Each structure stands twice: as C-alpha cells, then as structure tokens.
Homo-oligomer: A and B are copies of this chain.
C-alpha cells in the first residue's frame, strides 16, 4: 500500500472514531484534524471536502461488511444458517455504526448527496444479490420451492429492515437503542427469518 493510501486510511479511521461517537453532523473537520495531530489543510489535501471523507468512511464500512459476510458464508451450508449468519453480521454493524444512521430513513442531512445515495443503492443491490444467490442455491438444491429469488430476497430484506426501523421509531427516543431493544430486534428478525424460510418450502 502506497504512502498516500496509508494516510487516507488513517484519516478514515480517525473519522470513524468520531463518527461512531458523535455522528457525522456533530463531527467537524477541525476535530478530526486535531485528533490526528494534523492541520486542517492536510486533511483537505487527502479529501477535497467533507462529503468525500464521509463517502470514504461509508465505503470502508460497507466493504468490511461484505468481506466479513463472504467469509462467514463459507462456514455455513444450510439456508437457515446462512441467513441467520447474515442477520447477525448486519446486526453487529448496525450496532457499531448506529450513530452514522446508515440504515437510512433518517433526515440526517449528511447522507443526502446524490452520489452517496447512488452508492447506497449499489451497496443495497449487492446485499440483495448475495441474498438472492443464497435463495437461488437453496432453490436449486430443492430446499425451497421454485420462485423469483430476486423478488423474494427483496421482500425478505425489506421485512427485516422494517422490523428494525419500527423498533427504533417506537423505542424510547434515546439517541441510542438500549441493549434490550437491540436484543428484541435481533430475536424478531431471526424468528421472522425462520418462518419466512419455512414459508418458501
């Protein structure tokens, strides 16, 4: 890895630390620079504006997510185990990066740039494709009945995401969901997943 990429990565890690704690909007470029003991212009040397840093951070998070997901999937063989594994990975990321509001739906002004939205769509599309592939294989091996796996994957992911967003909305309006709420979300998602799979057989 070349020098400039190392620095970019260091900045991304520094930004992530702040973002995790205070969120994107409540973090200033000044603070990130101070944390890393560099000057503001140095920061702007590597990232032309805050959006591109945010983009870099989000891209990093998603690539970590997919990397982990792909690795974990190799350990699982059944449809059930694969989907559960996916739910748990997503849950860990949701928890860790909660303050970045990556699940969307928040009126967080920081995530509203056009190319960031496009990128989000791409990531969502990749997630969808991976899930569709899981269903596809289960279909080919006869574990589930023949269906349109893309459509099913979409409905599946949307139902799970819906549970999350509902729980957060109806939760006690703290800035962070409680351990109990998080547990509830995970349990509900796993239960729904179970029923959903059975419903496809």
Seen from chain A, the residues whose Cβ lies within 8 Å of a Cβ on chain B are 104-105, 151-152, 155, 158-159, 161-167, 169-170, 188, 191-192, 194-201
Q: Which 9 A-B pairs have the closest CB atoms?
A: A162-B162, A199-B199, A195-B199, A198-B199, A105-B169, A162-B166, A159-B159, A162-B163, A155-B191
Task: Give the interface SS of chain A, mostly helix, strand, loop or mixed.
Answer: helix
Q: Are A104 and B169 in contact (CB under 8 A)?
A: yes
The complex places the Cα of A196 from the Cα of B196 at a distance, in Å, of 6
Chain B residues near A197 (CB-CB < 8 A): 199
Which residues of the other chain, B, contact A167 by a CB distance below 8 angstroms?
158
B155 in contact with A192 (CB, 8 Å) = yes
* Residues of chain B with a CB closer than 8 A to A170's CB: 104-105
When C-beta atoms are compared, the residue in chain B nearest to A200 turns out to be B195
The complex places the Cα of A163 from the Cα of B162 at a distance, in Å, of 5
Q: List 6 A-B contacts (CB under 8 A).
A: A105-B166, A151-B191, A155-B195, A159-B159, A162-B166, A195-B196
* CB neighbours of A155 from chain B (8 A): 188, 191-192, 195
Query: How far, in angstroms, from A163 to B167 measured CA to CA in the complex?
Result: 12
Given the known inter-chain contacts A159-B163, A165-B166, A170-B105, please indicate yes or no for A194 contacting B188, CB distance below 8 A. no
A175 → chain B closest CB, angstroms: 14
Q: Report A22 CB to chain B, min CB distance, Å.
A: 21
Least CB separation from A157: chain B residue? B166
Contact B166 A158 (CB under 8 A): yes
Residues of B within 8 A of A198 (CB): 198-201
Per the bound structure, the CA–CA distance linking A90 and B25 in Å amounts to: 38
Nearest-Cβ distance from residue A100 to partner chain B, whole angstroms: 17
Closest to A163 in B: B162
